[in-house]
Amino acid sequence: MAEKPIILGIETSCDETAVSLIQDDESNLPKILSNVISSQFNIHKEYGGVVPDLAARSHVEKIDIITKKAIKESGVGLDKVSAIAVTAGPGLIVCLTVGLNFGKAMAMSLDIPFIGVNHLEGHALSPKLHSKIEYPYLLLLISGGHSQYLSVNNLGNYKRLGTTIDDALGEAFDKTAKLLGIEFPGGPKLEKFSKKGDPNKYNLPKPIINKGGCNLSFAGLKTAILRITKKIKTDQEKFDLAASFQKTIEEILYIKTKKAFQEFQEIHSIENNNFIVAGGVAANEGIRNKLIKVSNENNFKCIFPDLRLCGDNAAMIAMVGLEKYKIKQFDSLDLPASPRLPLDENAKFLKGAGIKL
């Protein structure tokens, strides 16, 4: 029997330098051979956000070390790698370029196929790294840069059902956390704060809750929080505000997810409806519980990627690479970085595609 293909994935779209090797096992389920992630958390925290030039410089410094480590941990020789899959967009152009150039050079020197991957497609397929999930399924992607509902119809076939019209959800968590004096990225700590507070203390707005289908909006929430933080003095008030924010987000997602279920079912009439929640914010326990509740009530099975696969990683990029490898969908070495690449019917790797996500 021919050996199963091994894909080396590279992710450098933002502030994680990540390399992973994956291969199908005997039952054709993907197996992660290694999954190395180096976060730049310490570099950016003093600036309250990711600084593109610093991020790119750090990718340049680390990409070879992380790649060597991933190859070593996989126990596989470089000569056994079948293809190199690299995030080509969306993301920070200076960061994407580091991974792309490194991956292209590897593919060229090893004389193996090169595959450009849409980062969002990586998140969309990440649960396939540990669960056998058939297409189509509904995806909610909630990260620092994206918040959208997508119908994942097939590999390369996505329909966007709703998206944020302003801030991403992770961004809303981080900005609120900053107003409460929590350092970047504040999402996880804000969740901890919320557990010590009264969720009914502050009545916060739920922007566009009854309009815009399953589009999302969080900017108005931030403005309301800013107004309240000017008045609060005690730690308990901070905890109460965090709890009220957490509760409001859960309620927004509950209502919008119900709408997304309806839209998904208007497109697909299938027996087993799967709902995948991916991206860094999918680690939030309160959000998880609320999304499981709304799924149970509406006959959807709610699936979360393993926690280590929720945030940015290269295993999910290798996963897309593996599916593309099987259908021989390779890219040429002049593939450009596409900083604004969306994930829907119009998604194409075009230089500066100029589409707002």
Contact positions toward ligand KG4, by CB under 6 A? 14, 143-145, 170, 173-174, 185, 187-188, 191, 279-281, 283-284, 311-312
Give counts: helices (H), strands (E), the chain.
Answer: 11, 10
- Least distance in angstroms from the C-beta of 152 to Zn ion: 16
Q: Of 319, 316, 314, which Cα lies nearest the Cα of 73?
A: 314
Buried b (16+ CB within 10 A) or exposed e, 243-282: bbbbbbbbebbeebbebbbebbeeeeeeeebbbbbbbbbb
Rounded to 5 degrees, φ, ψ at 352 are 50, 55
Q: Where does this chain touch Zn ion (CB under 5 A) — which range of 128-136, 196-204, 296-304, 307-315? A: 307-315
Tell me, by CB under 5 A, how many residues bind Zn ion.
2
Q: Which does 283 bind (CB under 5 to 8 A by kind): ligand KG4, Zn ion, none?
A: ligand KG4
Task: List the single partner that 144 binds among Zn ion, ligand KG4, none, CB under 5 to 8 Å by kind.
Answer: ligand KG4
Site stretch for Zn ion (CB under 5 A), options 38-46, 135-143, 232-240, 331-339: 135-143
Q: Which is nearer to ligand KG4, 127 or 311 (CB)?
A: 311
Choice between 56 and 71, CB closer to Zn ion: 56
Indicate whether 312 belongs to the interface with Zn ion (CB under 5 A).
yes
Straight-line distance from the first to the last Cα atom of the chain, in angstroms, rounded to the nearest whole number: 44
Q: 30 or 185: whose CB is closer to ligand KG4?
A: 185
Q: Cβ closer to ligand KG4: 311 or 342?
A: 311
The one-character DSSP state at 145 is S
**From CA 141, how far away is CA 163, in angstroms rounded?**
9
The per-residue DSSP string of 287-316 comes to HHHHHHHHHHHTTEEEE---HHHHSS-SHH
User: For residues 37 and 294, which CB has a smaller minimum distance to Zn ion in the complex?
Assistant: 37
Minimum Å distance from CB 269 to ligand KG4?
32
Rounded least distance, CB 188 to ligand KG4, Å: 4
Of 9 and 279, nearer to ligand KG4 (C-beta) is 279
Nearest CB to ligand KG4, comparing residues 277 and 335: 277
Cα distance between residue 199 and residue 169, in whole Å? 18
Burial class of residue 9 (count of CB atoms within 10 Å of its CB; 0-12, 13-18, 19+): buried
What is the rounded distance in angstroms from the CA atom of residue 357 to the CA atom of residue 109?
35
**Does residue 143 belong to the site contacting Zn ion (CB under 5 A)?**
yes
Least spacing, CB of residue 87 vs ligand KG4, in Å? 11
- Return the structure tokens found at 82: 């079948």
In the bound state with Zn ion, the residue whose beta carbon lies nearer, of 215 and 313, is 313
**Taking CB within 5 to 8 Å according to partner kind, which of ligand KG4, Zn ion, none is near residue 225?**
none
Q: What is the dihedral of CA 231, 236, 242, 245, to 10 degrees?
A: -70
What is the Cα–Cα distance from 50 to 208, expressed in whole angstroms? 29
Q: How far is the CB of 328 from ligand KG4 (least distance, A)?
A: 29
Least CB distance to ligand KG4 at residue 91 (A): 8
Q: Which does 191 bind (CB under 5 to 8 A by kind): ligand KG4, Zn ion, none?
A: ligand KG4
Q: Would you tell me which residues interact with Zn ion (CB under 5 A)?
A: 143, 312
